[in-house]
């Protein structure tokens, strides 16, 4: 063994260094950013599923007015504020009632950046 190796402190050996490199730091930043966006997107997806369920139930009510009233009642129970009964698109096709809807949600990211989510579906 060389005298220089004995005198060299152990923290200078490459294999003993630890910490986060630049690439690791960037990876953590990207993952954290994606996590923050996901935290804001998940409630809108849950809301969309609730709206879709209520629209499917309301589509069986009968006439246009009854469908809108059924949607309004159930939306109030479910706590849906994304759209109202007047926003439903009701179409009669071959004796069946098709009820559609579409709406969008905007999520502010940073500065002038926004994420726009567009939701639409049709229940028959």
Q: What is the pLDDT along the chain (124 residues), one digit of tens a residue?
A: 566 555 666 555 556 567 778 888 999 999 999 999 999 999 999 999 999 999 999 988 888 899 999 999 999 999 998 899 899 999 987 878 889 999 999 999 999 999 999 999 998 7
* Angle value at C-alpha 29, between 28 and 31, nearest 5 degrees: 65
CA distance 90 to 61: 12
């Amino acid at each position: 063994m060389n005298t220089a190796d004995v005198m060299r402190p152990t923290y200078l050996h490459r294999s003993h260094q630890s910490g986060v490199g630049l690439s690791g730091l960037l990876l953590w930043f990207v993952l954290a950013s994606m996590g923050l966006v996901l935290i804001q997107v998940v409630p809108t997806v849950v809301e969309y599923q609730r709206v879709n369920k209520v629209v499917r139930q309301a589509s069986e009510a009968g006439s246009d007015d009854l469908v809108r009233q059924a949607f309004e009642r159930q939306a109030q129970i479910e706590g849906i504020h994304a759209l109202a009964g007047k926003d439903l698109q009701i179409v009669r096709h071959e004796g069946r009632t098709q009820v559609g809807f579409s709406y969008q949600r905007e999520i502010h990211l940073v500065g002038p950046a926004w994420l726009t989510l567009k939701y639409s579906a049709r229940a028959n």
